[in-house]
Amino acid sequence: MTPTGPLTLSDLQEKAKQLAQSLKAPCCIALWGDMGVGKTTFSKALIRCLSKDNDLEVPSPTFTLVQTYSTPKGDVWHCDLYRLNSPDEVLELGLLEAFQTSICLIEWPDRLENFLPRHRINVYLDIIDEDHRSLRIEKI
């Protein structure tokens, strides 16, 4: 997919909902971008769409590292790996098993190094200005 932009955060949420429609477990979505770019905003919209509950509370997994959700399309693992000290810590989280069975949204996927699945959907987000983002989605 070619880059889109400029997108408001509301537009970004709509793009997440569109992506959610095509997902099925197992799959990995790697969210790439700087801090504050909208990775969690994108993830929350995608999870709410998958759960079919627009009011679902979707806290950021910044401190818990992982939040899980049961949805009609399968279990969803929302991971924020920013605080991961070593890629080996994913073994303790059970993330490698989740890659085989669940829809996994990974913020800061570079922290996984060699554990990052080869077959995945990359979502690249960039800041254009305070209110706008660019988005590129690539399936590999």
CA distances from 133 to 18, 25, 40, 77 (A): 17, 28, 13, 24
Task: Tell me: pLDDT of 71 over 60.
Answer: yes
Task: Tell me: pLDDT of 98 over 90.
Answer: yes
Task: Tell me: pLDDT of 63 over 60.
Answer: yes
- Identify the band that residue 62 occupies on the pLDDT scale cut at 50, 70 and 90: confident
65-68: Cβ within 8 A, 24+ apart: 65/93, 66/93, 66/95, 68/102
Task: Tell me: pLDDT of 74 over 60.
Answer: yes
Q: Calculate what percentage of the chain has a pLDDT beyond 90.
A: 84
| 117-133 tens-digit pLDDT | 999 999 999 999 999 99
Domains and CATH numbers, the chain: 4-139 (3.40.50.300)
* Average confidence score pLDDT of the chain: 93
- Identify the band that residue 46 occupies on the pLDDT scale cut at 50, 70 and 90: very high
**Res 70: pLDDT:** 96
CA distances from 112 to 22, 26, 79 (A): 25, 18, 11
